[in-house]
Homo-oligomer: A and B are copies of this chain.
Amino acid sequence: MKTTKVRFTDPQIELAHGAGGKASRRLIEGLLVPYLENNKLTEMNDAAYVVTDREGQRLAFTADSFVVKPLIFPGGSIGELAINGTVNDLAMAGAKPLALVNTIILEAGLATSELEREVEAMSQAAQRAGVSVVGGDTKVVEHGKADGLFITTAGIGLTDPRVCLSAKNVRPGDQVILSGPIGDHGITVLLARGELELEAELNSDTRPLWPFVATLIEAAAPGLKWLRDPTRGGLATALNELSRDARVAVVLDEEAIPVRPAVRGACEILGLDPLYIANEGQFLAIVSPEYADIALEALRRTPGGENAQRIGEIQEKPERVVLARSQYGGNRVIDMLTGDPLPRIC
């Protein structure tokens, strides 16, 4: 059975095409993949695998652009995000980050102090993540032709031979583990824009995820099936992609999903669902049932992983659907993100 072919018929680009949800997927599948298609791109992971030598060593290779607004927010900034985001794409591919290259697009008129602050943030984040920045490129456009600065970070990492992460390996009965509370990053950035009369004691969760993945590999490599950090589009969109790619149902125990009261409160006021809010320091792991307890314990022992939870399981049917079991017994379908409630979140 072949996946239905997507056509991209929108006449112009809208913000929603960058939100990571349905519109993004249509743009990528309907316009980018048909031209740039190859086997590696079509599985739509955040990093690609490249075999570099005859012994079959696999390198993970990825790049992400960062356009977050505002440039700084409680708990982080664009520079820190630009390191952690790429480090995390490598980690989600089961790869230890090896080297990064940064490119920066600057707007003429940007204060040097703002640039210096972000370069320093990048340096500190790279040190924290244990990865070297080995090169870069800088472009400048006229004032008004960019928004302060945009950073793109490319990264390569060495994959751990003990794991083979792919949606294709996911089977009914596998368990869904979440590393910690969701929604902190998205709500923090939204509030930092100062457009809403709303305050909360919240910080972005931006952090490097490789230490957690390294722990998981040590403890539970044979049971590790799939990893994903739910950034744009949130947990709901990441799990919808999994359900589609693996042709399974993901059934969530919604009450088990950790959400801080401040995030829940802000979401209620704003009419948002935490399941769709972007994260920059959490991840989802699909683990075979016999390794689920071991994996969860290993995560909880890792500093920063204390709030890891088992939040659901994989079932055979209904195929390509994410369901949440509510506290009253019913099931609700959790769709992918539609539109873009929070543009420029990363």
Contact = CB atoms under 8 A, between A and B. Distances in A.
Interface of A: 8, 10-19, 24, 27-28, 31-32, 35-36, 38, 40-41, 45-48, 50, 52-53, 55, 57, 59, 61-67, 98-99, 101-112, 115-116, 119-120, 122-123, 126, 132-142, 144-147, 150, 152, 154, 156, 158, 343-344
Given A65-B137, A101-B62, A139-B65, A110 B40 contact: no
A35 B146 contact: no
A61 B112 contact: no
A158 B17 CA distance: 35
Given A31-B116, A150-B105, A150-B150, A13 B134 contact: no
B63 A63 contact: yes
Contact of A134 (B50, B106, B112, B344): B50
A63 B115 contact: no
Determine how many copies of this chain the complex contains.
Answer: 2
A115 B35 CA distance: 12
Contact of A15 (B62, B112, B142): B142
B154 A12 contact: no
A8 B59 contact: no
Of all A-B residue pairs in the complex, the 5 with the closest CB atoms, nearest first, are: A18-B140, A154-B154, A48-B134, A152-B152, A35-B123
Q: Which of A109, A138, A344 has the most CB of B within 10 A?
A: A138
A53 B156 CA distance: 13
B62 A13 contact: no
A53 B51 CA distance: 12
9 contacts: A14-B108, A18-B106, A28-B136, A36-B119, A36-B136, A41-B136, A139-B344, A142-B147, A154-B154
A40 B156 CA distance: 15
Nearest to A27: B138
A240 to B, nearest CB: 18
Q: Which of A35, A99, A109, A135 has the most CB of B within 10 A?
A: A135
Contacts of A105: 65, 67, 105, 150
A106 B50 contact: no
Given A12-B112, A38-B132, 4 more contacts: A35-B119, A40-B134, A48-B135, A139-B344
B156 A112 contact: no
Contacts of A119: 31-32, 35-36
B135 A31 contact: no
A65 B152 contact: yes
Nearest to A120: B35
Nearest to A346: B139
Nearest to A43: B135
Nearest to A121: B35
Contact of A102 (B10, B36, B46, B145): B36
Q: Which of A64, A132, A152 has the most CB of B within 10 A?
A: A152
A133 B39 CA distance: 10
Contacts of A12: 108-112
Contact of A57 (B48, B53, B61): B53
Nearest to A10: B112
Contacts of A65: 103-105, 137, 139, 152
